[in-house]
């Protein structure tokens, strides 16, 4: 039987299947690379840059970098983690992220990354953008102030739900999430609680009404274990398949 091709990640051999990216292979092997906009069900596009690694001395986004035999990848270094901390600080500064009052606290990827990377200070002056909350929908609340522009809801609504409810508008510092309706309100779309777009937001933008704090803080996903300890559960599906073979092998 032919041995699978491998590359080195922080000195450890990582096997990979044809078509996998570096982050897919790493997560399938139980090796965590910090990430925010990457999601195993969508083709990556490298917007957040938190998964940046060094490959043969040069930086690259591991979510878009094809795995190749012989690569020497560095991820868990103080240099890279320092850059990741800066990116997390910038994301906190660009939105209104007051964790103690947020329904997503404990389930928030941005918050969990902050803890895991040991972000200890604000780092930047906060923008406090004025983005009105949309409570027009009978079942769903949108708090645009928390958006980190990951585009996961945009892709989920378009590629899975087939509804194109969300889009990004503007450029640079003015870039923001919008609702695709004549009024700009979620109530004037056909979004439903069963939509994939309801599940994918890594922060607290898309929330189900009348369900706040049903699960107590302290017993939530990232309250019990840090995000870096959940690599196998978050392992990506190999391209073209609907499941993760590495996850099944570990069960």
pLDDT value of residue 1: 54
- Structural domain range at position 29: 6-81+227-250
Domain count, the chain: 1
pLDDT value of residue 79: 96
User: pTM of this prediction?
Assistant: 0.88
Asked, for residue 180, whether it belongs to a domain, the answer is no
Residues in the chain predicted with pLDDT less than 70, given as ranges, are 1-2, 232, 234-251
Asked, for residue 36, whether it belongs to a domain, the answer is yes
Q: What is the pLDDT of residues 199-226, one digit of tens each?
A: 999 999 999 999 888 888 889 999 988 9
Asked, for residue 13, whether it belongs to a domain, the answer is yes
Asked, for residue 126, whether it belongs to a domain, the answer is no
pLDDT value of residue 239: 42
Asked, for residue 209, whether it belongs to a domain, the answer is no
pLDDT value of residue 181: 97
Asked, for residue 141, whether it belongs to a domain, the answer is no
CATH code of residue 241: 3.10.20.740
Q: What is the pLDDT of residues 2-48, one digit of tens each?
A: 678 999 999 999 999 999 999 999 999 989 999 999 998 888 888 89
d(CA 127, CA 251): 45
Asked, for residue 105, whether it belongs to a domain, the answer is no
Asked, for residue 72, whether it belongs to a domain, the answer is yes
pLDDT value of residue 143: 95
């Amino acid at each position: 039987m032919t041995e699978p091709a491998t590359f080195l990640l922080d000195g450890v051999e990582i096997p990979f299947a044809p078509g996998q990216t570096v982050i897919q292979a790493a997560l399938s092997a139980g090796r965590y690379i910090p990430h925010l906009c990457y999601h195993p069900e969508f083709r990556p596009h490298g917007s957040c840059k938190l998964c940046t690694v060094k490959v043969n001395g040069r930086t690259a986004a591991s979510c878009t970098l094809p795995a190749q035999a012989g690569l020497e990848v560095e991820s868990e270094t103080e240099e890279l983690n320092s850059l990741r901390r800066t990116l997390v600080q910038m994301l906190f500064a660009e939105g209104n992220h007051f964790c103690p009052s947020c329904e997503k606290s404990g389930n928030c990827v941005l918050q969990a990354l902050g803890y895991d990377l040991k972000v200890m200070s604000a780092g930047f002056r906060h923008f406090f953008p004025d983005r009105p909350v949309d409570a027009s929908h009978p079942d769903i609340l949108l708090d645009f102030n928390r958006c980190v522009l990951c585009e996961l809801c945009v892709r989920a609504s378009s590629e899975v739900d087939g509804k194109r409810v969300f889009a990004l508008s503007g450029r640079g510092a003015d870039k923001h999430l919008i609702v695709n309706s004549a009024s700009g309100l979620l109530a004037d779309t056909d979004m439903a609680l069963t939509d994939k777009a309801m599940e994918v937001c890594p922060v607290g933008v898309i929330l189900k009404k009348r369900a706040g704090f049903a699960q107590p803080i302290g017993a939530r996903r990232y309250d019990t274990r840090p995000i870096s300890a959940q690599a196998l559960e978050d392992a990506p599906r190999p391209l073209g398949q609907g499941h993760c073979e590495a996850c099944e092998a570990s069960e």
